[in-house]
Amino acid sequence: MKFGGTSVASADRVKRVARLIKSHSKDNEIVVVASAIKGVTDDLIQISESVRKGSKTDVEKFIDRFKKLHMDMAKTSMTKEKTRKELRNVLNVVIKELEDVLNGMVLLGEVTPKSQDYLLSFGERLTTSILSYALKDIGISTESLTGKNTGIITDSNYGEAKPLMDTTKLRVSNKIIPMLRNGTVPVVTGFVGADQNGNLTTLGRGGSDYTATIIASCINADEVWLWTDVDGLMTADPRIVKNAKVLKEVSYAEAMEMALFGAKYMHPRALEPILDKGIPTRIRNTFKSENNGTQVLKNPKINTRQIVKSVSMIRNTALIDVRGGSMVGVPGIAAKIFDIMGKNNINIMMISQSPSESSISMVVSKNDLDSAVNSLELSLLGKVIKTINVTDNVAIIAAVGSGMRGIKGVASRIFGAIAKHDVNVMMIAQGSSELNLAFVVNDKDCEEAVRALHEEFELSKIE
Ligand code: ASP
Ligand code: MG
């Protein structure tokens, strides 16, 4: 069971989570994975900015705030004085370490990817201790572990580390299975692992889901439950479409397409470790634990005959269009363009090329836009590329559903509905898996476009 950042965001919530774990632990062996308190990872990333600027007072203020947040929570989430005291001692040690790390970084005035990962690990380390003591407080035998102590070994690609599954499998099963046999509930930091030299690494934003599936795969778990603050994967973001519905069952492939966009953001590789074994995964709401949520399965049983199952969007993106007469019919141009983007660490979210070959369009996150345009200009402008056009403020809309495969007329329904709402389409891409049809619109039109498609495919009536 993995609990997201909102599920552990207050003392009451921690208590609720502890009771939830206790009630399920009667008939099950449970491994718990916890995220940092919502917003804490963002704060830690932000404070590394202050470190870069050498702003000592900002860092001091941050430490005070950080300490208070966790200490206050720790105080009110325990009922017994004994556990409260023990937890306080544990937290003091971890927070002291955080202070040392931050002070060291300020002295150096430097944030390396390695030190940043070390810093980011503190969010998860603190919630894991708090949650573990909350379990102790209500009589559950438990132990809190970092991803490193659990045995999650990764490569050294800080900030976006990947598990080395062979080693990890051996270590995690050796560590976790005896604990379960002993009746101990391991509470593990999400998001955090360590490389082969023992340096802490992180798995990328939203990486706690990934931690859960890595462990599940290592110990051959029966199921993975991702507890979050929404009811599951939905037909659309309910903040945009009022009558959006929870999907009861989706396939792994569909879930991976939806996870990137939807109300429940999931780490893009989160389902990878459990695909082979087909371990069923549930997305459930901590605050409405009576609901079943969404089940993610290899082969969903419910045949809804639904062509499109969900409509989602990614905002804060920009469209880059590169053109040049000498791009036509010359092999290797696309490779050059993408090579430069890759070398500069720019993630391309969508690509399309017209058959005339005179232009290639791609969508990147707005954060990457400057660096993308700069590197293209430096390396290719005036050579193979003649012009680079940028459209800021676009959004990707994606219609997802395995029922689209081989069905005629889906595209026509999609674009017909969009046209009826007077929204202009700037770029289109569909993979040949036909699982996902994505297009780009002006950001100001994106909510309208989502609602139009939700209505066209009658997703509010989905079973
Ligand atoms: N705390 C990390 C993040 O905010 C990992 C997670 O929440 O899954 O990205
Ligand atoms: Mg999270």
Each residue's pLDDT tens digit, 91-136: 999 999 999 999 999 999 999 999 999 999 999 999 999 999 999 9
pLDDT band at 304 (very low <50, low <70, confident <90, very high): low
> Among the CATH numbers 3.30.2130.10, 3.40.50.10490, 3.30.499.10, 3.20.20.70, which is that of 310-461?
3.30.2130.10
Query: Is the predicted pLDDT of residue 263 greater than 80, yes or no?
Result: no
Query: Is the predicted pLDDT of residue 434 greater than 80, yes or no?
Result: no
Q: How far is the CA of 428 from the centre of ligand 2 (A)?
A: 30
Q: How far is the CA of 38 from the centre of ligand 1 (A)?
A: 8
What is the per-residue pLDDT for 3? Answer: 98
Q: How far is the CA of 39 from the centre of ligand 2 (A)?
A: 9
**Cα(76)–Cα(84) distance, rounded to whole angstroms?**
9
**Cα(274)–Cα(252) distance, rounded to whole angstroms?**
9
19 burial level (CB within 10 Å; 0-12, 13-18, 19+): middle
Cβ atoms within 10 Å of 23's Cβ, excluding its own: 11
| Atom 5, ligand 1: residue with shortest CA distance | 206
Residues having CB within 6 Å of any atom of ligand 1: 5, 35-36, 41, 123, 190-191, 205-208
Six token digits for residue 211: 């931690």
**Cα(17)–Cα(187) distance, rounded to whole angstroms?**
12
Which ligand ends up closest to the CA of 117?
Answer: 1
What is the per-residue pLDDT for 331? Answer: 84
Mutation choice for ligand 1 from 7, 8, 41, 200, CB with most ligand atoms inside 8 A? 41
Are the CB atoms for 140 and 184 separated by under 8 Å? no
Query: Is the predicted pLDDT of residue 302 greater than 70, yes or no?
Result: no
Mean pLDDT of the 445-460 span:
96
What is the per-residue pLDDT for 321? Answer: 95
Kindly give the number of the ligand 1 atom that is closest to the alpha carbon of 124.
1
Q: Which CATH fold would you assign to the domain 2-229? A: Carbamate kinase (3.40.1160)
What is the per-residue pLDDT for 362? Answer: 95
Domain boundaries, the chain: 2-229, 310-461
Q: How far is the CA of 361 from the centre of ligand 2 (A)?
A: 31
What is the per-residue pLDDT for 264? Answer: 66
pLDDT band at 261 (very low <50, low <70, confident <90, very high): low
Please provide the average confidence, as pLDDT, over all residues in the chain.
Answer: 93
Query: Is the predicted pLDDT of residue 326 greater than 80, yes or no?
Result: no
Which ligand ends up closest to the CA of 209?
Answer: 1
Give per-residue pLDDT as tens, 152-188.
999 999 999 999 999 999 999 999 999 999 999 999 9
Q: How far is the CA of 92 from the centre of ligand 2 (A)?
A: 24
